[in-house]
Amino acid sequence: MNKTEFYPVGTVLYLKQGTLKLVVFARGQLLENEEDELPTYYDYLGAIYPQDYETERLYYFNAEDVDSVVFEGYSDDDGQRYQAVLSE
């Protein structure tokens, strides 16, 4: 995956060193950092598949953390336009 491209929401994947599948449900995330005034940027926010969203088990990660893709989520013209905004 090109660094300027993002996996679509709904993509199911494994992270490096990971044993559980994650489903991507958000892209381009900023997470407040207690140690620094500036938030930390992450490419993705995911949850364990198939359990979905559990606030205690959310995973912030970047493209370089992805090991393999099991299923790529749906993408259309709107998704491609959003990806262009994220890439800027």
Its domain, for residue 51, covers 12-72
Question: How far apart (Å, rounded) are the C-alpha atoms in residues 43 and 65?
Answer: 10
Whether 4 is in a domain gets the answer no
For residue 7, is it within any domain?
Answer: no
Residue 36 domain-assigned (yes or no): yes
Residue 45 lies in a domain: yes
pLDDT of residue 55: 72
Residue 3 within a domain: no
For residue 43, report the phi and psi dihedrals to the nearest 5 degrees.
-65, -35
Spatial contact of 86 and 24, defined as CB atoms under 8 Å apart: no
Residue 52 located in a structural domain: yes
What pLDDT, in 10s, does the model give residues 28-76? Answer: 899 988 877 889 999 999 999 988 677 778 999 999 999 999 999 998 9
